[in-house]
C-alpha cells in the first residue's frame, strides 16, 4: 500500500518531466497511432455490416482465392487491413520510444540509485506508454468518425450495401481496446525491459539501450507474435472464432513473408557499392547500414503499402472492383507508411545530428544534407516499393481474377506507378524533418540536445 501511494505521488512529476523533455514523442504518438486507429474504426464499421451479407455481396475475389476468402470472410479482410495500418504506426512509435528511453538512461539509473524500486520504475514507464496510447487513440477515434463518413459512399457502391449511413458502438470500443493493447505490446516492452535490466548495465551504457544489441531476429519474432495475438483477439471479436483463426493464420503467413523480404532487402543495402567518387551515395549506404532496425521497419512498411496499393490498382483497372473503396484502404496504408517515414527520419537525424552538423560546419551546404536524407529514404522506398509491387502482381496473378482483362503493359505501368507512390510517400514523410534541419545552425547540431528541438 505504501509503495502504491509513493507511486501515485511520483507519477505526475515523472510524466510532466517526460512531456517537457520529450514533447515530440507525444506528437509522434499522434502521427503514428491516429491514422491507424482511424482506419481501424472506419473499416470495422463497414465490416460490422458486411458480416451479415452473403459472399456474393462483397467483391473481394480479386484479392484472395475463393477458398481462402470463404474461410477469412470479407469482413475479416476489412479487419485485417485496418489492423495492418495500425501496426505500421505502432512500429514507428516503438522506435521513437526506444530512442526516448535511451536518452534518459542516466536519469532512470539515478532514480534507482535514489531508492526507486524496479517495480516502480517499470510502472512509471508503463504509465508513460499508456499516456501515449490514450492520446493517439483518442485522436484516432475522432478521425475514424470522419473517415467513416467520407468513405461510406465508396464502400456502399463497392460492397452493394443498403442505403442509409449508420454507426455502431461496438467498432469504436473494439478499435480503442486494440489500439491500447497494441501500443502496450509494442511500446511497453521497452519500459518493462528497462525496469528489469541490471543497474550496472544501465550505468555503464547510459547512452545505448541494451535492446539495440538484441538480434534483429528477436525483434522480428516479437513483432510476429504480437501481430498474431492482436489479429486473433480482433478477429474473434469482430468476425467470430472460425474466421478469426483463419485470419490469424493468414496474418502469420504474411508477417513471416514480409519480415523475410524486408530482412533480405536490408542486407542488400549493406552490400550496395559505395565508391569514393560518389560521397553522397556512400554516406547514404553507410547510414542505412548503421540504423538497421529503422531501415528494416521502413522497408517492411513500404513493402506492405506498395502491395496493398498494387492489389487495389490492379483490381480496379482489371474491372473487378466497381468502385474506388479499395483505393481508400490503400491510401490510409500509405498515410501510415508516411508517418513511419517521418519517425524513422527524425530518429536518424537525432542519432546523426552531430555528424550532419559536422558536415555543415565543414562547408557542406544545407541542400546537400537534405539530399542525403532524401537519398536514404529513396533507396528504401524504391527497393521496398518494388518488392511490394512484385508481390502484388504475383498474388493477383495467382488469384487469377481479371487477369484476362488487363494487358501485360498495363501491369508493368501499374507496378511502376506503385513504386513511385512509395517514393512519394517516403519523401513527403521526410519533409518535416528536412524543415527542422534547415532551420538549425551547425553549432547547435554539434551540441547534445534532446530530439530536434535545439
**Length reported for the chain:** 454
Q: Which residue has the higher pLDDT, 372 or 218?
A: 372
Average pLDDT over residues 153-173: 86
Q: What is the pLDDT of residue 299?
A: 84
In this prediction, residue 32 has a pLDDT band, given cuts at 50, 70 and 90, of confident
In this prediction, residue 58 has a pLDDT band, given cuts at 50, 70 and 90, of very low
Q: Which residue has the higher pLDDT, 55 or 257?
A: 257
Average pLDDT over residues 414-421: 85
Q: What is the pLDDT of residue 452?
A: 45
C-alpha cell at 202: 544501465
Q: What is the pLDDT of residue 454?
A: 44
In this prediction, residue 149 has a pLDDT band, given cuts at 50, 70 and 90, of very high
The b/e string for 149-158 (b: 16+ C-beta within 10 A; e otherwise) is eebbebbbeb
In this prediction, residue 61 has a pLDDT band, given cuts at 50, 70 and 90, of low
Q: Grid coordinates 526506444 are at which residue?
A: 98
Identify which of 205, 181, 179, 183 has the alpha carbon closest to the alpha carbon of residue 194.
Answer: 205
Q: What is the pLDDT of residue 206?
A: 45
Condensed to tens digits (0 to 9), the pLDDT of residues 123-137 reads 888 888 888 889 889
Q: What is the pLDDT of residue 46?
A: 92
Q: Which residue has the higher pLDDT, 4 or 175?
A: 175
Average pLDDT over residues 231-249: 89
Q: What is the pLDDT of residue 443?
A: 52
State residue 323 phi and psi, 5-degree precision.
-145, 175
Q: What is the pLDDT of residue 176?
A: 94
Q: Which residue has the higher pLDDT, 3 or 160?
A: 160
Among 54-68, 73-87, 426-440, the range scoring the smallest mean pLDDT is: 54-68
Identify which of 34, 35, 42 has the alpha carbon closest to the alpha carbon of residue 171.
Answer: 42
Average pLDDT over residues 200-204: 49
Q: What is the pLDDT of residue 399?
A: 67
Among 48-57, 262-271, 289-298, the range scoring the smallest mean pLDDT is: 48-57
Q: What is the pLDDT of residue 146?
A: 94
Using an 8 Å Cβ cutoff, are 304 and 258 in contact? yes
Looking at the predicted structure, is the pLDDT value of residue 450 above 50?
no
Q: Round to whole Å and give the CA distance between 431 and 425.
A: 10
C-alpha cell at 6: 509513493
Average pLDDT over residues 36-47: 93
Q: Which residue has the higher pLDDT, 7 or 386?
A: 386
In this prediction, residue 453 has a pLDDT band, given cuts at 50, 70 and 90, of very low
Using an 8 Å Cβ cutoff, are 411 and 330 in contact? no
In this prediction, residue 57 has a pLDDT band, given cuts at 50, 70 and 90, of very low
C-alpha cell at 307: 502491395
In this prediction, residue 144 has a pLDDT band, given cuts at 50, 70 and 90, of very high
Spatial neighbors of 386 by CB under 8 A, at least 6 apart, are 306, 415, 419
CA distances from 284 to 273, 290, 370 (A): 11, 10, 11
Q: What is the pLDDT of residue 143?
A: 94
Say which DSSP state 452 is in. T
pTM as predicted = 0.81
| Cβ-based neighbour number of residue 28 at 10 Å | 27
Looking at the predicted structure, is the pLDDT value of residue 419 above 80?
yes
Identify which of 341, 346, 347, 345 has the alpha carbon closest to the alpha carbon of residue 425.
Answer: 341
Q: Round to whole Å and give the CA distance between 141 and 40.
A: 9
Looking at the predicted structure, is the pLDDT value of residue 2 above 50?
yes
Looking at the predicted structure, is the pLDDT value of residue 216 above 50?
yes
Q: What is the pLDDT of residue 28?
A: 72
Q: Round to whole Å and give the CA distance between 170 and 149.
A: 17
Average pLDDT over residues 40-64: 73
Q: What is the mean pLDDT of the chain?
A: 77
pLDDT > 90: percent of the chain: 10
In this prediction, residue 147 has a pLDDT band, given cuts at 50, 70 and 90, of very high
SS (H, E, C) 91-160: HHHHHHHHHHHHHCHHHHHHHHHCCCCHHHHHHHHHHHHHHHHHHHHHHHHHHHHHHHHHCHHHHHHHHC
For CA atoms 427, 433, 434, 435, the dihedral sign is positive
Looking at the predicted structure, is the pLDDT value of residue 446 above 50?
no
In this prediction, residue 359 has a pLDDT band, given cuts at 50, 70 and 90, of low
Per-range mean pLDDT, top range of 95-104, 138-147, 300-309: 138-147
Query: To which H or E segment does residue 188 belong?
Result: helix 169-196
Q: Round to whole Å and give the CA distance between 18 and 313.
A: 44
Amino acid at each position: 500500500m505504501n509503495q502504491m501511494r509513493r507511486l501515485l505521488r511520483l507519477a505526475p512529476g515523472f510524466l510532466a518531466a517526460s512531456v517537457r523533455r520529450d514533447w515530440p514523442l507525444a506528437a509522434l504518438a499522434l502521427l503514428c497511432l491516429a491514422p491507424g486507429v482511424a482506419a481501424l474504426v472506419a473499416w470495422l464499421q463497414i465490416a460490422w455490416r458486411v458480416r451479415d451479407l452473403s459472399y456474393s455481396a462483397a467483391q473481394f475475389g480479386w484479392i484472395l482465392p475463393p477458398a481462402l476468402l470463404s474461410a477469412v470472410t470479407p469482413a475479416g479482410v476489412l479487419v485485417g487491413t485496418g489492423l495492418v495500418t495500425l501496426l505500421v504506426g505502432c512500429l514507428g512509435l516503438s522506435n521513437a520510444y526506444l530512442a526516448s528511453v535511451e536518452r534518459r538512461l542516466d536519469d532512470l539509473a539515478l532514480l534507482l540509485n535514489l531508492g526507486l524500486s524496479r517495480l516502480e520504475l517499470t510502472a512509471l514507464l508503463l504509465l508513460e506508454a499508456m499516456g501515449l496510447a490514450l492520446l493517439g487513440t483518442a485522436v484516432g477515434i475522432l478521425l475514424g468518425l470522419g473517415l467513416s463518413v467520407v468513405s461510406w459512399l465508396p464502400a456502399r457502391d463497392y460492397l452493394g450495401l443498403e442505403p442509409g449511413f449508420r454507426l455502431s458502438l461496438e467498432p469504436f470500443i473494439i478499435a480503442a481496446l486494440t489500439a491500447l493493447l497494441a501500443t502496450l505490446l509494442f511500446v511497453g516492452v521497452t519500459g518493462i525491459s528497462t525496469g528489469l535490466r541490471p543497474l550496472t548495465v544501465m550505468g555503464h551504457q547510459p547512452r545505448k539501450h541494451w535492446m539495440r544489441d538484441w538480434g534483429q531476429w528477436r525483434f522480428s519474432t516479437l513483432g510476429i507474435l504480437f501481430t498474431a495475438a492482436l489479429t486473433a483477439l480482433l478477429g474473434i471479436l469482430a468476425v467470430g472464432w472460425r474466421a478469426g483463426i483463419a485470419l490469424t493464420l493468414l496474418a502469420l503467413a504474411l508477417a513471416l513473408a514480409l519480415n523475410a523480404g524486408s530482412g533480405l532487402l536490408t542486407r542488400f543495402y549493406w552490400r550496395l557499392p559505395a565508391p569514393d567518387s560518389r560521397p553522397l551515395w556512400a554516406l547514404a549506404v553507410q547510414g542505412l547500414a548503421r540504423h538497421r532496425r529503422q531501415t528494416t521497419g521502413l522497408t517492411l512498411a513500404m513493402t506492405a503499402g506498395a502491395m496493398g496499393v498494387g492489389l487495389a490498382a490492379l483490381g480496379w483497372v482489371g474491372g473487378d472492383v466497381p468502385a474506388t473503396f479499395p483505393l481508400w484502404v490503400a491510401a490510409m496504408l500509405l498515410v501510415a507508411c508516411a508517418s513511419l517515414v517521418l519517425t524513422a527520419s527524425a530518429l536518424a537525424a537525432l542519432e546523426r545530428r552531430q555528424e550532419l552538423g559536422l558536415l555543415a560546419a565543414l562547408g557542406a551546404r544545407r541542400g546537400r544534407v537534405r539530399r542525403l536524407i532524401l537519398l536514404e529514404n529513396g533507396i528504401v522506398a524504391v527497393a521496398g516499393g518494388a518488392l511490394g509491387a512484385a508481390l502484388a502482381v504475383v498474388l493477383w496473378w495467382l488469384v487469377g481474377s481479371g487477369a484476362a482483362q488487363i494487358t501485360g503493359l498495363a501491369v508493368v505501368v501499374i507496378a511502376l506507378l506503385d513504386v513511385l507512390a512509395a517514393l512519394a510517400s517516403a519523401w513527403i514523410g521526410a519533409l518535416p524533418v528536412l524543415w527542422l534541419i534547415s532551420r538549425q545552425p551547425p553549432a547547435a547540431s554539434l551540441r547534445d540536445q534532446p530530439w530536434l528541438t535545439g
